[in-house]
Amino acid sequence: MFENPVLEKLPKHLTAFIVEQDYNSYTAQDQAVWRYVMRQNVNFLSKYAHETYIDGLKKTGISVDHIPSTEVMNDILGKIGWASVTVDGFIPPAAFMEFQKYNVLVIAADIRPIHQIEYTPAPDIIHEAAGHAPIISNPEYAAYLRKFGEIGSKAFSSKKDYEIYEAIRRLSILKTDPNSTIKDIENAEMRIDELSLALGPPSEMSLIRNLHWWTVEYGLIGTIDQPKIYGAGLLSSIGESVGALKKNVIKLPYDINARDYSFDITKPQPQLFVTPNFQHLSSVLEEFASFMALSTGGLDGIIKAIESGNTSTLVYSSGLQVSGTFTDMVLHNGNSVYIKTNGPTTLNYEDEMLDGHGKSYHKDGFGSPIGKIKGTLKPTRFLSNSDLSSIGIKMGKETVFEFESGIKIKGILRNVLRKDGKLLLMSFSDCLVQHDDIILFEPGWGTYDMAVGENIVSAFSGPADAEGFGLEYSAPVDKTHKIKHNQKTQKLHQIYQNVRDVRKHRADLDVLKNIWKEFIQGNYNDWLLPIEILEMLTKGEEEQLKTEINNYLNALCADHENYAHLIKNGKDVIGRF
């Protein structure tokens, strides 16, 4: 899998989410579920999906007849500059988007159970591979997806966002497992409701996640009256793909207001958004990004960094990037004039950690003024050594100076660091830093490294240099449940395998008579396997067997209205592939 050159560029911290596909764990019934969904989808979507879809299946290595192997997909995806990895269900939004940033398609390794064949509350390989993969073969859409990853992975989350993510992940796992109790599901739903009520104003991540949902997952393209499907959630759901185009599902023009529409991943969506073209998606994304702290910085960005409670980066106007957990700031006349981190911190420039300024050096945190040194005409970042000397700041000499904010520095200048003609950092020994009567740094604390910059021009989630920072993600707490099948179900899966073997090896169709007899004797009450057999009896042979199977399916339809339409739809596509 890792021979794809795209995957060689994947940062180490993302590998915590990658799991082995274990292709042999898919049962023959799983393969039949894949075939059924794909046959239905291709039959319908060839008319109602964006024109990229059908051709994109071939370009990304997706077959109608069998669950894709990510190894095979990677061989093919590498030709269009993408790759794929398998993960365990939902992963945190920031990580999901960062994978996109690196042109990596995240694929949930499991496949939906037969009782959720039309719609699954959790991501699965049908959703990820058959939904996401085909559309990335469109270069304009692929560029949007990559850009979304770059921007989305830097959006700030609130402290509650991750708790909600874990709660939603738990609910999706429980709803997918047929052995889950009603009580467990109800408790999981109550937990989400409780967290949502206490959430407060939406974070950047929750807003951009909405945009992701209404485009990448559930997007429509074209006109309001005659839209086509391109969102992966619709492309992979035989129930929702049909329902999405009905008049009872509200269609709205896609614009930045979609950020304010939240969603429930476990239910069909009440409204969808229609973009006129893929380029429009990028325009809305850029509009959203212009309001993010990533673009605006300032006091709002500092507040978001502090409120996130996680590793964040603040960027000075000099270009110096401070990465750590921001805990406090000093305000003066309504502006932040001093920032502080607590715990390991790194200093960076252009997303690379500066030599000697890693977490081991700044292990106890970092604090520095923001603003202009008093008595200078130039911005502080453009002061030369002679400019500094003119205001009494000389190498190896004790100096006293003040910022326009009133922050005072007293110490001996030991070093300056410049990059691309800009002053980034000034280091002092025996240094005292204070604002009014508040001591911010004492001489006994060691070397004082003072960041240079008149303002904070950008703020974003995560470290500037993930590898230098040693960023690590923890795998989600709840793991996807591996469904335990009883002995009867295991026997049914073996019958599915026997049918699959007949198709694969083109065996004598008389074998199917014995398979059918074994199936009937087992009293399995299953509707999909008879359709699998019926597909191989379309040339006029075995009319008696065809009649028996049709009678069986008709009886199921009469007794089980909830999946009668699935039987009808399965029979309708026989002979079309």
pLDDT value, residue 540: 59
Per-chain mean pLDDT for the chain? 92
> In CATH, which superfamily holds the domain spanning 5-157?
Aromatic amino acid hydroxylase (1.10.800.10)
DSSP state at residue 291 = T
Strand 219-222 with 271-275, pairing: parallel
Most confident of 119-128, 280-289, 544-553: 280-289
DSSP state at residue 413 = E
pLDDT value, residue 75: 87
At residue 3 the predicted structure's pLDDT band, cuts being 50, 70 and 90, is low
pLDDT value, residue 1: 44
pLDDT value, residue 346: 98
DSSP bridge pairs for 347: 322
Q: Work out the end-to-end distance of the chain between its first and last CA atoms, rounded to an integer number of angstroms.
A: 30
Q: Tens of pLDDT along 492-529?
A: 999 999 999 988 876 677 788 999 999 999 999 899 99
Mean pLDDT of 86-111: 91
Q: Give the closest residue to 293 by CA, choosing from 460, 150, 94.
A: 460
Report whether 288 contacts 260 (CB < 8 A). Answer: no
The model carries a pTM of: 0.88
At residue 485 the predicted structure's pLDDT band, cuts being 50, 70 and 90, is confident
pLDDT value, residue 61: 84
Q: Tens of pLDDT along 221-278?
A: 999 999 999 999 899 887 788 888 898 999 999 999 999 998 877 677 899 999 999 9
Domain ranges for the chain: 5-157, 311-469, 487-572
Q: Tens of pLDDT along 125-172?
A: 998 888 899 999 999 999 999 999 999 999 999 878 888 888 888 888
Q: What percent of the chain has pLDDT over 90?
A: 69
CA 136, chain centre distance (Å): 15
323 φ/ψ angles, rounded to the nearest 5 degrees? -115, 125
- The residues, any chain, with a CB within 8 Å of residue 295's CB and separated by 6 or more, are 289, 458
> For 512-525, b where at least 16 C-beta lie within 10 A, e where not — what string?
beebbeebeeeebe
Mean pLDDT of 59-88: 90
Q: Tens of pLDDT along 310-321?
A: 999 999 999 999
∠ CA 125-130-135, nearest 5°, is 135
351: left (phi over 0), alpha (psi -120 to 50) or beta: left
pLDDT over threshold 60, residue 530: yes
User: Which of these ranges, 133-137, 165-169, 301-305, 569-573, has the smallest mean pLDDT?
Assistant: 165-169
pLDDT value, residue 525: 87
At residue 324 the predicted structure's pLDDT band, cuts being 50, 70 and 90, is very high
DSSP state at residue 218 = T
At residue 369 the predicted structure's pLDDT band, cuts being 50, 70 and 90, is very high
pLDDT value, residue 11: 92
pLDDT value, residue 504: 83
DSSP per-residue letters across 35-75: HHHHHHHHHHHHHHB-THHHHHHHHTT--SSSPPPHHHHHH
> Measured on CA atoms in the order 119, 124, 130, 136, is the torsion positive or negative?
positive
Measured CA to CA, the distance from residue 89 to residue 374 in angstroms comes to 55
DSSP state at residue 16 = G
Q: Tens of pLDDT along 414-447?
A: 999 999 999 999 999 999 999 998 999 999 999 9
